[in-house]
């Protein structure tokens, strides 16, 4: 389906981002590209839809050289999902999903039918979600819509660049499961970039570990874990950042994206609906400048909603940590006192993320189980 042959990418300053890459990805396969920062994984992905130009070599998709296809036409026939989602804020869910079909000239009836099919496929009730706007969605819901938008014209190939990287561990695992379930139905060819080895081993049919623009090793998750090629691969698979963290280490490695973030202008009643959809009892209130305005609490929100108030009438501002000096011990003590997420802000009040007991537990468990599973890791 996708074939890289002697592909190189050299930038004007002489930096070699991708160096003689040979890679074949079969139809219906999920190939996950992973490696250290700067290894060339994202550049390799972007060359497939010509967001990055090849310096030399060839990439063919379904037997056709991508350089022989108009780049706009090429991109409209390849699904693309990124970490930032980039939904159009002024467009509804249905309008966002229907973006590419409209560009391809589909009629309104056909687009509407396709939108409803995709929402139902993702277990999002069409009547409830098609008219919502991005600001009315949680982070996980936005990411689902981003995936559906990529599937809108039923492309054979989908590129996914750190699609779940900004989500908290629970949302991330849920969306990983949903994508794997969806793949059983749609059977697309997917090139998936991640920096997380746990995610790579979970999602991939083929794991491609890159280093300095080249493939260091590739194979199935079992092959990679059972027969690591060298010390670099063994170290990369067995890397356990949490094992090196002491109670007095900075809290930064445990910071995750919150399950739900909302703007101060949203009503308390709307946030209650979002909380019900996500099954959570808190939401982080963040303005357009990324400044934290408080943590909305279920009990406080219910009282604010009865009075028709905004979400800011149901927030708590005293529970937070400052990223500059907070430690793992500080977070653990706060969580033992009250098991609700802890917002983390910088010295200027800008929102960084949250620390939760579930996040701590899941990160620890995932690394312990990965280490045991890998045997030689």
CATH number of the domain where residue 338 is located: 3.10.580.10
Q: Can you give the pLDDT at residue 374?
A: 38
Torsion of CA 63, 64, 65, 71, to 10 degrees: -140
* Over residues 153-169, mean pLDDT: 88
- Same domain (yes/no): 127, 274: no
- Same domain (yes/no): 211, 299: no
* Domain annotation covers residue 375: no
- Same domain (yes/no): 224, 330: no
Residue 60 DSSP label: E
- Angstrom CA distances, 82 to 45, 63, 86, 146, stand at 11, 26, 8, 8
Residue 324's domain comprises 252-361
* Domain annotation covers residue 368: no
- Same domain (yes/no): 191, 261: no
- Same domain (yes/no): 300, 347: yes
- Same domain (yes/no): 335, 235: no
Count the domains in the chain.
Answer: 2
- The tens digit of pLDDT for each residue in 278-287 reads 888 999 999 9
Residue 67 DSSP label: G
152 has pLDDT over 70: yes
- Same domain (yes/no): 280, 222: no
- Same domain (yes/no): 154, 44: yes
* Domain annotation covers residue 323: yes
* Domain annotation covers residue 366: no
CATH number of the domain where residue 146 is located: 3.40.50.300
Q: Can you give the pLDDT at residue 4?
A: 98
DSSP string, 114-143: HHHHHHHHTT--HHHHTT--GGGS-HHHHH
| Residue reference for tokens 């509407």 | 112
Model confidence at 362, pLDDT cuts 50, 70, 90, reads low
192 vs 375: which has the higher pLDDT: 192
* Over residues 306-312, mean pLDDT: 94
* Domain annotation covers residue 369: no
Rounded Cα distance, 75 and 264, in Å: 36
The reply to whether the predicted model has a pTM over 0.75 is no
- Same domain (yes/no): 208, 266: no
- The tens digit of pLDDT for each residue in 55-102 reads 999 999 999 999 999 999 999 999 999 877 778 999 999 999 999 999
């Amino acid at each position: 389906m996708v074939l890289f042959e002697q592909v190189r990418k050299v930038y004007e300053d002489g930096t070699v981002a991708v160096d003689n890459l040979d890679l074949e990805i079969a139809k219906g396969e999920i190939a996950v590209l992973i490696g250290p920062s700067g290894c060339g994984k994202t550049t390799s992905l972007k060359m497939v839809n010509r967001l990055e130009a090849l310096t030399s070599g060839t990439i063919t998709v379904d037997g056709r050289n991508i350089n022989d296809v108009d780049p706009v036409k090429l991109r409209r026939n390849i699904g693309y999902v990124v970490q930032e989602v980039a939904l159009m804020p002024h467009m509804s869910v249905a309008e966002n999903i229907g973006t590419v079909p409209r560009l391809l000239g589909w009629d309104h009836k056909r687009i509407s039918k396709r939108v409803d099919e995709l929402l139902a496929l993702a277990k999002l009730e069409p009547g409830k979600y098609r008219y919502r706007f991005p600001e009315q969605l949680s982070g996980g819901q936005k990411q689902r819509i981003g995936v559906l938008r990529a599937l809108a014209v039923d492309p054979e190939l989908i590129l996914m660049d750190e699609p779940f990287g900004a989500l908290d561990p629970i949302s991330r695992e849920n969306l990983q499961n949903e994508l794997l379930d969806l793949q059983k139905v749609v059977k697309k060819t997917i090139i998936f970039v991640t920096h997380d080895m746990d995610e790579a081993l979970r999602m991939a049919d083929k794991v491609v570990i890159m280093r300095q623009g080249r493939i260091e090793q590739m194979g199935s998750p079992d092959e990679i874990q059972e027969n690591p090629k060298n010390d670099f691969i063994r170290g990369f698979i067995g890397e356990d950042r949490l094992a090196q963290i002491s109670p007095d280490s900075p809290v930064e490695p445990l910071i995750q994206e919150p399950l739900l973030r909302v703007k101060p202008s949203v009503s308390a009643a709307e946030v209650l609906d979002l909380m019900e959809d996500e099954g959570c009892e808190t939401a982080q209130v963040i303005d357009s400048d990324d400044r934290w305005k408080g943590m909305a609490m279920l009990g406080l929100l219910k009282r604010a909603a009865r009075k028709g108030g905004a979400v800011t009438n149901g927030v708590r501002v005293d529970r937070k940590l400052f990223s500059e000096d907070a430690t793992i011990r500080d977070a653990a003590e706060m969580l033992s006192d009250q098991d609700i997420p802890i917002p983390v802000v910088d010295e200027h009040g800008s929102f960084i993320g949250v620390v939760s007991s579930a996040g701590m537990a899941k990160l620890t468990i995932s690394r312990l189980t990965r280490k045991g599973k890998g045997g030689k890791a």
